[in-house]
């Protein structure tokens, strides 16, 4: 099949989404959108009960859309255990009976968010972050290569990693997360170049602050309501709002589809322009998390502070 005549649609595509058990997450949203498009979907998560619940929910979502959507499969796998990734992938292929893989989406996290437990003074937290963000995705891709190479999609098999803007706009207290995500970006580019002639594309999306379930957990940790904390985080964004999982998922599906067939090794920012400045644009969030800002007028706007004559 020539590149020009190969399919660009994800209807009927075989798609594995890793990290898709939380209905408020980016991974779950990607899986739901794939189902809506008529793709065959399998999800992976570390909690067996959540995998089963999410699979049922996504299958019901598929059924409600009519057509010939298939039941969504689920497999248990823990990204904190990189050495198990090859066997997890083989379990996926045996569970689904797929003979090829068109799309691999890896939406990684650490199960508690970078703001809810990672300690920049503990070596184990750096190791865990690296395992989750780099080694496990790397080993999953390694196991998937022979199957991705068989994809008939235009541009070939597609790997999309959901990364983070953290390495580009690093928050001081989240060093383990920042370093792991920076290494993840290098992994994406390395894999893209390694497999450039194998009919496999590897890309990433880099979200900034997205209102997922993790943000709700952060609000509780900070002793704030979800609305208060979401507003605070929105004030740190150049656009004045937080992103949504749907907005990130749209970018993921673009990279996953044959529509982006000439893109590989891309680190696509989905950050509302955050890279154009920094977290420290907004005095209120600086005061909240850094302190030593008694001289800052919290009512002052960004423009009034930074656009003075």
Q: State how far the Cα of 286 lies from the Cα of 5, in Å rounded to an integer.
A: 52
Mean pLDDT, range 48-71, rounded to an integer: 85
Residue 3 has pLDDT above 60, yes or no: no
* pLDDT computed for residue 114 by the predictor: 46
DSSP run (H or E) holding 2:
none
Confidence of residue 6 (pLDDT cuts 50, 70, 90): low
Q: State how far the Cα of 116 lies from the Cα of 70, in Å rounded to an integer.
A: 37
Mean pLDDT, range 66-90, rounded to an integer: 90
Mean pLDDT, range 290-302, rounded to an integer: 46
* pLDDT computed for residue 213 by the predictor: 84
Q: Which two tokens stand for residue 250?
A: 């749209």
Residue 284 has pLDDT above 50, yes or no: yes
Residue 296 has pLDDT above 70, yes or no: no
* pLDDT computed for residue 172 by the predictor: 75
Q: Which two tokens stand for residue 206?
A: 């880099």
pTM score: 0.87
pLDDT per residue as tens digits for the range 121-175: 899 999 999 999 999 999 999 999 999 999 999 999 999 999 998 888 887 778 8
Q: State how far the Cα of 232 lies from the Cα of 265, in Å rounded to an integer.
A: 33
The closest alpha carbon to 279, from 213, 246, 234, belongs to 234
């Amino acid at each position: 099949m020539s590149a020009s005549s190969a399919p660009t649609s994800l209807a009927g595509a075989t798609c594995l989404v890793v990290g898709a058990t939380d209905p408020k997450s980016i991974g779950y949203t990607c899986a739901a959108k794939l189902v809506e498009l008529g793709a065959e979907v399998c999800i992976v998560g570390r909690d067996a009960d959540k995998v089963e619940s999410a699979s049922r929910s996504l299958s019901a979502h598929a059924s409600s859309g009519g057509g010939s959507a298939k039941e969504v499969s689920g497999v248990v796998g823990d990204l904190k255990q990189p050495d198990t990734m090859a066997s997890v992938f083989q379990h996926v292929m045996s569970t689904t009976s797929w003979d090829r893989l068109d799309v691999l989406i890896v939406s990684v996290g650490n199960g508690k968010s970078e703001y809810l437990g990672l300690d920049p003074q503990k070596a184990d937290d750096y190791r865990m972050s690296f395992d989750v963000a780099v080694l496990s995705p790397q080993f999953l891709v390694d196991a998937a290569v022979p199957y991705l190479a068989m994809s008939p999609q235009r541009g070939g098999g597609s790997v999309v990693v959901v990364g983070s803007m953290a390495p580009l706009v690093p928050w001081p207290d989240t060093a383990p997360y920042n370093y792991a995500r920076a290494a993840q970006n290098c992994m994406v580019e390395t894999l893209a170049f390694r497999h450039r002639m194998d009919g496999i594309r590897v890309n990433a999306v880099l979200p900034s602050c997205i209102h997922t379930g993790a943000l709700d957990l952060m609000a509780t940790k900070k002793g704030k309501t979800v609305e208060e904390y979401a507003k605070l985080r929105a004030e740190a964004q150049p656009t004045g709002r937080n992103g949504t999982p749907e907005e990130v998922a749209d970018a993921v599906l673009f990279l996953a589809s044959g529509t982006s067939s000439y893109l590989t090794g891309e680190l696509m920012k989905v950050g509302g322009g955050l890279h154009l400045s920094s977290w420290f644009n907004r005095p209120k969030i600086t005061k909240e998390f850094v302190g030593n800002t008694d001289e800052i007028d919290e009512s002052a706007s960004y423009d009034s502070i930074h656009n003075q004559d």
